[in-house]
C-alpha cells in the first residue's frame, strides 16, 4: 500500500479481497491490523481502550510541535486534562459563543461572491479554512486577537501541519529534513506561534478582565484535588491543540457540505425552507439550533460520505485478542472510518446523499452501533463535537439564507486524504444572491 498517495482506494480494495479485517505492514515493518468491523472499532475505542494508545510513531511528532494537550497526551495526564476541560465544552456552556460566531461569520463573509448581478465562481475550500480558523481562534480569545496576529498564527500552524503530514507520510525524508534545515525552520515557526498565544494568555490573566470565551473557561477551570488552575504552559499547549484539531476538520466538513448541497438542489431547497420556517430573517440564537433538524441531518450525512477524520489509529500496549484476531503487543490498529461509512452492510445505497437517513428515529441506533463515527468514539470522543455542529449550523444559516449555490464544474472533487479528508482541487461554487 502506497501511503504517500491517496490510500482510500487501496483500503477499499483490500477489504473487498480480504474481508472486514486484514493484516498489513506499514513501510514493510510496522505490523498493522486494518479494520472496518464496528465490533473491533468499539473494542479498541471503548471496551478495552486502556490497552490502545495513540500510535507513538505519529503522536511523538505531533507532540513536538503542538505540545502535550488533549489530542496528544496519554494516561493519567490526559484523563486529568479531559476532566478539567470537558465541562467547558458542554452544550449549555457553548451558548455564550453563538454571538461571537454570528459576528465572525458576518464579518468574514467574502465580498465579491456576486458582482454586478453576476455570480462568480468561488473555491469554498480556502474560504472555509479561513472561516473555521477565525471561528475557533475568536471563540478562544474573543476580540483580543488582531487580524495581523490571526494571519501570522494561521500561516504558522498551516505550514507546520503540512510539514507534519510530510514527515509522517514520507518518513524516509526525515534525515533530509534535518540536514536541509527544514526541521529547524519549522520549529522556529512553531515557537513564533507559541509566543503569540502565550502573550494573549498572559495579558488576559494579568488584566483580570473576564470574557465569555473558551480561554476564560480554560483559565477558570480548577483541578478537583488541588483547587489550582492550569499554568501558562499548559494553557498554551491546550489552546494550540484546540486550534489545530478544531479548524481543518470543520473546514473540510463545510467544504463537502457546500459541494453536496450545490449538487443536490432539491435538498438545498428543503434546507432553505427549514431555515425560513425556524428563523425567518432573525439572527440565529442558541435556542434555534436544536430546531434546525434537517440542517443537522445534512451535516451528519455529509460527514458520513466525507468524514473529515477518515481514519484513526491506535497501538496495542499489551497483546490482546479481538474476535479471534491475535493482536501482538505493538500492533497498530487502523480504524477505517471512511470504509465503515460506505459499507453497504450498514448503509442502503451508500454512495447516495440522503440526509433523511439521520432522521431522529434511526440516528441514535447508527451512532450507538459504531457504524457511524465522524467524531470518533469512547472516552476520546472529539471534545469539540457540539462546538463543531454549532459552527457548521451557523455557517449554513448565514450563507444558505442569503445565497442559492450551484456547482461551477460538473467534475466531482477528488479525495485528498491527508490528516483530514480534503477535496483535492477545492470546490468551485457559484453564489446567487436571493432577492
State the residues that interact with ligand HEM by CB under 6 A.
70-71, 82, 136, 241-242, 245-246, 249-250, 253, 308-309, 312, 374-376, 380, 382-384, 387-388
Min dist CB 247 to ligand HEM, Å, is: 7
Q: Taking the complex as a whole, how short is the minimal distance between the CB of residue 118 and ligand HEM, in angstroms? A: 32
Q: Which is nearer to ligand HEM, 119 or 247 (CB)?
A: 247
Instruction: Using the minimum distance from each CB to ligand HEM, give the nearer residue, 59 or 430.
Output: 59
Q: How many CB atoms lie within 10 A of CB 272?
A: 19
In the complex with ligand HEM, the residue whose CB is nearer, 119 or 393, is 393
Which cell is 358 given?
Answer: 439521520
Cα–Cα dist 195/201, whole Å: 10
Nearer to ligand HEM, 113 or 261 (CB): 261
Task: State which residue, 41 or 113, has the beta carbon closest to ligand HEM.
Answer: 41
> In 402-418, which positions are buried (b, 16+ CB within 10 angstroms) versus exposed (e)?
ebbbbbbeeeebebebb
Minimum Å gap between C-beta 356 and ligand HEM is 21
Name the residue nearer to ligand HEM (CB basis): 384 or 430. Answer: 384
Least spacing, CB of residue 6 vs ligand HEM, in Å: 19
Q: How far is the CB of 289 from ligand HEM (least distance, A)?
A: 15
Closer to ligand HEM by Cβ: residue 79 or 434:
79
Question: Distance between the two ends of the chain, CA-based, in angstroms?
Answer: 51
- Give me the least distance between CB of 392 and ligand HEM, in Å please: 7
Least distance in Å: CB of 434 to ligand HEM? Answer: 26
Of the two residues 113 and 197, which places its CB atom closer to ligand HEM in the complex? 197
Nearer to ligand HEM, 67 or 246 (CB): 246
Cβ distance to ligand HEM smaller for residue 156 or 312 = 312
For residue 215, the minimal CB distance to ligand HEM (Å) is: 12
**Shortest-Cβ-distance residue relative to ligand HEM:** 384
Q: What is the 3-class SS of the chain, one letter each residue?
A: CCCCCCCHHHHHHHHHHHCCEEEEEECCCEEEEEECCHHHHHHHHHHCHHHEECCHHHHHHHHHHHCCCCCCCCHHHHHHHHHHHHHHHCHHHHCCHHHHHHHHHHHHCCCCCEECCEECEEEHHHHHHHHHHHHHHHHHHHHHCCHHHHHHHHHHHHHHHHHHHHHHHCHHHHHHHHHCCHHHHHHHHHHHHHHHHHHHHHHHHHHCCCCCCHHHHHHHCCCCCCCCCCCHHHHHHHHHHHHHHCCHHHHHHHHHHHHHHHHCHHHHHHHHHHHHHHHCCCCCCHHHHHHCHHHHHHHHHHHHHCCCCCCEEEEECCCEEECCEEECCCCEEEECHHHHHCCCCCCCCCCCCCHHHHCHHHHHHHHHCCCCCCCCCHHHCCCCHHHHHHHHHHHHHHHHHHEEEEECCCCCCCEEECCCEEECCCCEEEEEECC
Give the nearest distance from C-beta 31 to ligand HEM in angstroms.
19
Nine cell digits for residue 162: 503540512
Q: What are phi and psi of 145, to 5 degrees?
A: -105, 120
d(CA 395, CA 284): 10
Q: Which among 186, 199, 184 has a CA at the least distance from the CA of 239?
A: 199
Query: Diameter of the chain by CA atoms?
Result: 66
Residue 229 or 376: which CB sits closer to ligand HEM?
376
Minimum Å gap between C-beta 427 and ligand HEM is 16
State in angstroms the smallest separation of the CB of 214 from ligand HEM: 7
Amino acid at each position: 500500500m502506497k501511503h504517500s498517495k491517496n490510500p482510500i482506494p487501496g483500503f477499499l480494495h483490500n477489504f473487498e479481497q480480504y474481508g472486514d479485517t486484514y493484516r498489513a505492514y506499514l513501510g514493510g515493518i510496522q505490523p498493522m491490523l486494518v479494520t472496518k468491523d464496528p465490533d473491533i472499532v468499539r473494542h479498541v475505542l471503548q471496551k478495552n481502550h486502556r490497552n490502545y494508545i495513540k500510535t507513538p510513531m505519529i503522536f511523538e511528532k505531533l507532540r513536538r510541535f503542538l505540545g502535550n494537550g488533549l489530542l496528544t497526551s496519554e494516561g493519567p495526564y490526559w484523563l486529568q486534562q479531559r476532566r478539567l476541560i470537558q465541562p467547558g465544552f458542554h452544550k449549555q456552556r457553548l451558548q455564550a459563543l453563538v454571538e461571537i460566531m454570528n459576528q465572525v461569520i458576518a464579518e468574514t463573509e467574502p465580498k465579491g461572491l456576486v458582482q454586478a448581478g453576476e455570480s462568480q465562481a468561488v473555491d469554498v475550500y480556502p474560504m472555509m479554512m479561513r472561516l473555521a480558523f477565525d471561528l475557533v481562534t475568536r471563540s478562544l480569545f474573543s476580540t483580543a486577537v488582531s487580524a495581523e496576529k490571526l494571519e501570522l498564527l494561521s500561516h504558522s500552524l498551516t505550514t507546520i501541519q503540512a510539514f507534519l503530514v510530510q514527515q509522517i507520510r514520507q518518513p524516509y525524508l526525515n534525515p533530509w529534513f534535518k540536514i536541509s534545515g527544514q526541521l529547524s525552520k519549522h520549529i522556529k515557526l512553531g515557537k513564533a506561534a507559541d509566543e503569540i498565544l502565550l502573550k494573549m494568555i498572559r495579558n488576559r490573566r494579568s488584566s483580570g478582565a473576564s470574557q465569555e470565551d473558551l480561554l476564560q473557561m480554560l483559565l477558570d477551570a480548577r483541578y478537583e484535588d488541588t483547587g489550582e488552575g492550569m499554568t501558562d504552559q499548559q494553557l498554551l499547549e491546550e489552546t494550540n491543540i484546540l486550534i489545530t484539531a478544531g479548524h481543518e476538520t470543520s473546514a473540510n466538513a463545510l467544504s463537502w457540505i457546500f459541494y453536496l448541497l450545490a449538487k443536490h438542489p432539491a435538498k438545498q431547497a428543503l434546507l432553505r425552507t427549514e431555515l425560513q420556517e425556524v428563523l425567518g430573517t432573525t439572527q440565529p440564537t442558541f435556542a434555534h439550533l436544536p430546531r434546525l433538524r434537517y440542517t443537522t441531518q445534512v451535516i451528519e450525512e455529509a460527514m458520513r460520505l466525507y468524514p473529515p477524520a477518515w481514519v484513526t489509529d491506535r497501538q496495542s500496549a499489551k497483546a490482546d485478542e479481538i474476535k479471534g484476531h491475535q493482536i501482538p503487543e505493538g500492533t497498530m490498529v487502523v480504524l477505517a472510518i471512511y470504509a465503515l461509512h460506505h459499507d453497504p452492510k450498514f448503509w442502503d445505497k451508500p454512495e447516495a446523499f440522503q440526509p433523511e437517513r439521520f432522521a431522529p428515529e434511526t440516528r441514535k441506533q447508527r451512532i450507538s452501533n459504531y457504524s457511524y463515527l465522524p467524531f470518533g468514539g469512547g472516552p476520546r470522543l472529539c471534545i469539540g463535537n457540539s462546538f463543531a455542529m454549532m459552527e457548521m449550523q451557523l455557517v449554513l444559516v448565514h450563507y444558505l439564507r442569503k445565497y442559492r449555490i450551484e456547482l461551477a464544474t460538473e467534475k466531482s472533487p477528488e479525495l485528498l486524504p491527508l490528516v483530514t479528508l480534503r477535496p483535492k482541487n477545492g470546490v468551485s461554487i457559484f453564489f446567487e444572491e436571493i432577492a
